[in-house]
Chains A and B, each alone.
Chain A
Amino acid sequence: MRKLNADVVVVGGGSTGTGVVRDAAMRGYRAILVERADLAQGTSGRFHGLLHSGGRYVVADPLSAAECAAENAVISRIQPAAVERTGGLFIVGPGDDPDFGDVFLAGAKAAQVPAEEISPGAALRLEPRLDPKLRRAFQVLDGTVDGWQLVWSAAASARLWGGQILTYTEIVEIIRGSEGVRGVRAVDRKTGEAIEIECGFLINCAGPWAGRVATLAGVRPVEVVPGRGVMVAMAHRLVNRVVNRCAKPADGDILVPVHTVCVIGTTDVKVADPDNLAIPRAEVRQMLEAGEALIPGFQQARALHAWAGARPLVKDDRVDDSDTRHMSRGMAVIDHAARDGVAGLVTVGGGKLTTYRLMAQHAVDAMENQTGRRHPCRTADEICPGQTPGRNYLVSCRLQEREADRLDDQIICECELVSRRALLGLWDEFPQASLDDLRRQSRLGMGPCQGGFCSARAAGLACATGKADGAQATGLLRDFLANRWLGLAPVLYGDQVRQTALDYWIFQGALDVDHLPAAPNRPAEPPAAEDQGSPPTRRQASLACSAGPAVAGEGVSL
């Protein structure tokens, strides 16, 4: 049993939670973040990668639009390596209402979102693959953002200010006294160790899982309606700018270039359980057809991977709960002292990744409102560690790095240009990491071959450097391939079928990985959920025999 002590415990290691722990640490609080899986492994790693200019919300939600515009500039400044300043276009297609363009421009002006109309010809010169029959085009300041880089660099900043980050640590109990929240009990899911953290405050940033955390705290239910969004990454950057349909927001109307791929998103289906997100082939089809409307020939392009994310929407009485797209995208900060008479507890929900920093600021402000202490928020003023001011990500960044070390280091993943040194550096930092954990930070196995060549190398490297024995390394390899498949199977068509056949020839034909003996049993999983009287989720069941959580279709690109 490990005992820790903190002013505030933050539950949830997505963008919001990491923003909160950074903000709280910078204000001088002793802050600990607990995340039951890896950082940005849930919603913050499963979106399309859009750093909003605000353009998307200028008509329906001008307040959100203005926040997005302001935060876009802040994030691009304080976390430049996570952001590519691609710019974006809003396109009125041949089937869209051209008058909506005027509504859009007026909204942009009112919300102070920079937007400028350009001629269809100019738009086609910028993005030659667009439908040549497009009627109007508007340029905006959309960018793209790597959710993992964003969250990890915020975490690094939090650590610098004394914040602690506990990943693979699941809350099993929230301890309450007469005064309110007094602490939490948690379990380290990789080692099974029990952890108790004494604290005066808890900020619930669990996103789609926030309702469960609220239930653990014993307050009145917080109703979260997870909206499932399916996204598909294509093997190339079919566009170099974000392309939006200039129409009322609908399914599959954004195409986002991220790293070496581009992502079409997204569907929106209400689901009951954020741990079990299916990727129905019908929704993939719907995305491909939506892509076809923006880029003729889209369906002939090669798809790489699909994933599903759960929107962390908090139910708002004003809208019908079957329509998750129009639920509160704006942030919802629930002060449980006022709402339930439970002091020391705040729940944050809703919101967008683009405005994560602002949400974190509001959450910590809400804590200070309760406690009566006041410190200024400084998260917008300081650049996160490891970032070069003014140097935003470019798609050529990795090439430049490899150009420097190509003669004295091996490239383990050729698709994503991950070097041996980079991979081992991460592994030394996270000795318990699964290949999926390493992937989220390094992009290992996220290119066209989807791990066909690099995953066996990485497993071999684990064995060669003493990070794993034969059984463990085999488990790492098998888990990685099985997890990649969850996002591959739904987009198995065209050239990706050929790739899959080649990968099977390698792993089964030549290496016979399918007949290696199974790993001996890992340490048993802590009976976390069962203790609370609820049945184990599929994720927990699968964890019992594998180091990495098997959750459907994790993002290829984000």
Chain B
Amino acid sequence: MATALVIGAGLAGLAAAIRLAQAGWQTTLASKGLGGLPLSAGTVDVLGYAPALLGDPTGRVARPFETAAALAAHDPSHPYAAIGADRAEAAVGWLRDLLPELLTGDLKTNITLPTAVGALRPTCLVQPAMAAGDLAQNRSLAIVGPSQLKDFSPELCAANLARQTWQGRPLLATAYRIDLPARPDEADSPALAYARSLDQTAYQRRFAEAVKRRLKDEEAVGLPAVLGLRDRQAWLEVQESVGRPVFEIPLPPPSVPGLRLNDALTAAAQTAGVRLVLGSSVIGFAAAGRRLKSVTLRQAGRDQAWAADAFVYAPGGFESGALSLDAAGRLEERVFQLPLRGAGGSRLGGQETAADLGRLINADYWAEQRLFAAGVAVDQAMRPLDEGEAVFDNLHIAGGLLAGAVRWSEKSGEGIAVGSAAAAADAITGRR
């Protein structure tokens, strides 16, 4: 049986591992720790903004894959160019079908959801618990939060919503507070504590009743995204007791919807037969010519060479430490020292001069920080490229390590992760 080793337990690594195992490959997933999903909003962003392409200052994207195709044509260094928008769409559809309890959306159009500070964020797939936040459905909103939860201010969320319009009509939003700690007598209850309490039926009722008492005649009720961690029906219970549509609003990490996705995908990987090797970091590799033979995993107490026929490297970008910039200006990919490219395909890596860094790091916080578009350029099989040639024939890159996009600003992280994971797995298994 052919063997594959996937490195990284974020969305890209998990998706690649599941797809490889489903195709009959004996698949191992090695990871240093938890992947990036618990840091995410728990939605699947494909492409939310493309101001340069659409030529208007906001650049809000309505049809994500259609615009991703245009973006790929406009900028061949963008990850969607190597992935292909149609392949990305198929991959995101595959993910939705893999997790029908957790992801919903029609793939064609973006859904606009309020954020915790009241911005209108476009995304492609949402969790069912968030769906009623779709501004296309409900415009008169109650925003409700517990006083003990410091990461959610219903007042800020509602006040910002109320000063915006959606499709030409003003939004109505009113803030309400409930006084209900996650655990008795707690002044500072974190989101996770609420989520765990809301896994319990009795607390679901108390929470819902406290919310219901506050409401006036709003169409829908926005709540912080804490409506159950393990109980996937918790939000439905709350909604039924409240008596009108409720929707979750994602919070800063650790994110409950992100953890739900992480748990569901990890379970799916195990069901598919993926062997998970946690607590292991990659510290080296062995290759013969363009064939990668093994990587060295450092685990508690020992270093071990793991051989495989094919490798998917999905370690993330700067946030995970897979890419690093040191005090002397050395920019590098940590394990394989792969060649690096920046926005527009510009050559990076090695020693960056102060002038180079000046171009990569903008003095204006709100301007695009091109440093974070740095990464690895790949071919259509997601193999890292050096001067147009694959560096290794059996090493494939997926997710945050790919060059060419600042994901948080265009809101494209999950689409690139799933799309590249599927492209890498399919290149390995020969699936078209």
User: B164 at interface (Cβ–Cβ under 8 A)?
Assistant: yes
The 17 listed contacts between A and B (C-beta, < 8 Å) are: A456-B117, A456-B151, A464-B153, A470-B163, A471-B159, A482-B366, A485-B365, A486-B363, A494-B326, A497-B324, A505-B39, A508-B408, A509-B40, A510-B41, A510-B250, A510-B253, A515-B120
Q: Min CB distance, B374 to chain A, in Å?
A: 10
* Given contact pairs A410-B150, A512-B115, A512-B121, a sample of 18 additional A-B residue pairs in the complex whose CB atoms are under 8 Å apart: A281-B354, A285-B328, A410-B187, A460-B150, A470-B156, A470-B159, A473-B156, A474-B117, A481-B365, A484-B365, A485-B365, A492-B371, A493-B326, A498-B318, A501-B318, A506-B252, A515-B49, A515-B120
CA distance A461 to B115 in the complex (A): 16
A508 lies within 8 A of B164 (CB): no
Among B45, B156, B411, the most chain A Cβ lie within 10 Å of the Cβ of B156
B321 lies within 8 A of A498 (CB): yes
Q: How many residues of A contact B (CB 8 A)?
A: 60
Chain A residues contacting B327 (CB-CB under 8 Å) are 285, 288, 299-300, 303, 493-494
User: A407 at interface (Cβ–Cβ under 8 A)?
Assistant: yes
A283-306 to B contact mask, C-beta < 8 Å, 1/0? 001001000000000011001000
Q: Min CB distance, B285 to chain A, in Å?
A: 23
User: A502 at interface (Cβ–Cβ under 8 A)?
Assistant: yes
Q: Which residue of B lies closest to A480 (CB)?
A: B365
Chain A residues contacting B136 (CB-CB under 8 Å) are none
Which B244-270 residues sit within 8 Å CB-CB of chain A? 250-253, 255
CA distance A507 to B151 in the complex (A): 13
Q: Min CB distance, B399 to chain A, in Å?
A: 13
B204-241 to A contact mask, C-beta < 8 Å, 1/0? 00000000000000000000000000000000000000
User: B320 at interface (Cβ–Cβ under 8 A)?
Assistant: yes
Among B159, B324, B358, the most chain A Cβ lie within 10 Å of the Cβ of B159
Residue numbers of A with Cβ under 8 A of B are 280-282, 285, 288, 299-300, 303, 406-412, 420, 453, 456-457, 459-464, 469-471, 473-474, 477-478, 481-482, 484-486, 489, 492-495, 497-498, 500-502, 504-506, 508-517
User: B372 at interface (Cβ–Cβ under 8 A)?
Assistant: yes
Chain B residues contacting A282 (CB-CB under 8 Å) are 354
Which B161-207 residues sit within 8 Å CB-CB of chain A? 162-164, 177, 185-188
CA distance A411 to B150 in the complex (A): 9
CA distance A366 to B115 in the complex (A): 59
User: B138 at interface (Cβ–Cβ under 8 A)?
Assistant: no
Q: Min CB distance, A132 to chain B, in Å?
A: 22
CA distance A201 to B39 in the complex (A): 59
Q: Min CB distance, A286 to chain B, in Å?
A: 11
CA distance A494 to B325 in the complex (A): 6
Q: Min CB distance, B110 to chain A, in Å?
A: 13
Interface size bracket, B side:
35 or more
Chain A residues contacting B365 (CB-CB under 8 Å) are 481-482, 484-485
List the 9 shortest-distance A-B pairs measured between CB atoms, nearest first: A460-B153, A470-B159, A485-B365, A512-B119, A501-B319, A509-B408, A463-B156, A508-B408, A463-B155
Q: B interface, by DSSP: helix, strand, loop or mixed? A: loop
Q: Min CB distance, B164 to chain A, in Å?
A: 6
CA distance A502 to B326 in the complex (A): 18
Chain B residues contacting A505 (CB-CB under 8 Å) are 39-40, 253, 319, 408
Contacts A410-B188, A482-B365; A510 near B156 (Cβ below 8 A): no
CA distance A517 to B366 in the complex (A): 13
A407 lies within 8 A of B413 (CB): no
B409 lies within 8 A of A508 (CB): yes
Chain A residues contacting B150 (CB-CB under 8 Å) are 410, 412, 420, 457, 460
Among B49, B362, B365, the most chain A Cβ lie within 10 Å of the Cβ of B365
B155 lies within 8 A of A497 (CB): no
B118 lies within 8 A of A504 (CB): no
B342-375 to A contact mask, C-beta < 8 Å, 1/0? 0000000000001001100111111001011000
Q: Which residue of A lies closest to B188 (CB)?
A: A410
Chain B residues contacting A502 (CB-CB under 8 Å) are 39, 253, 319
Q: Which residue of B lies closest to A514 (CB)?
A: B366
B319 lies within 8 A of A517 (CB): no
Chain B residues contacting A495 (CB-CB under 8 Å) are 321
User: B380 at interface (Cβ–Cβ under 8 A)?
Assistant: no
CA distance A183 to B156 in the complex (A): 44
Chain B residues contacting A515 (CB-CB under 8 Å) are 49, 58, 119-121
CA distance A302 to B409 in the complex (A): 26
Q: Which residue of A lies closest to B250 (CB)?
A: A510
Chain A residues contacting B133 (CB-CB under 8 Å) are none
Contacts A412-B150, A457-B151, A515-B49; A509 near B357 (Cβ below 8 A): no
CA distance A470 to B40 in the complex (A): 25
Chain B residues contacting A462 (CB-CB under 8 Å) are 156
User: B116 at interface (Cβ–Cβ under 8 A)?
Assistant: yes
CA distance A303 to B327 in the complex (A): 9
Chain A residues contacting B251 (CB-CB under 8 Å) are 510
Q: Which residue of B lies closest to A465 (CB)?
A: B155
CA distance A33 to B160 in the complex (A): 38
A501 lies within 8 A of B357 (CB): no
Chain A residues contacting B371 (CB-CB under 8 Å) are 492, 497
Chain A residues contacting B329 (CB-CB under 8 Å) are 493
Contacts A409-B188, A508-B408; A516 near B160 (Cβ below 8 A): yes
Chain B residues contacting A489 (CB-CB under 8 Å) are 361-363
Q: Which residue of A lies closest to B60 (CB)?
A: A515
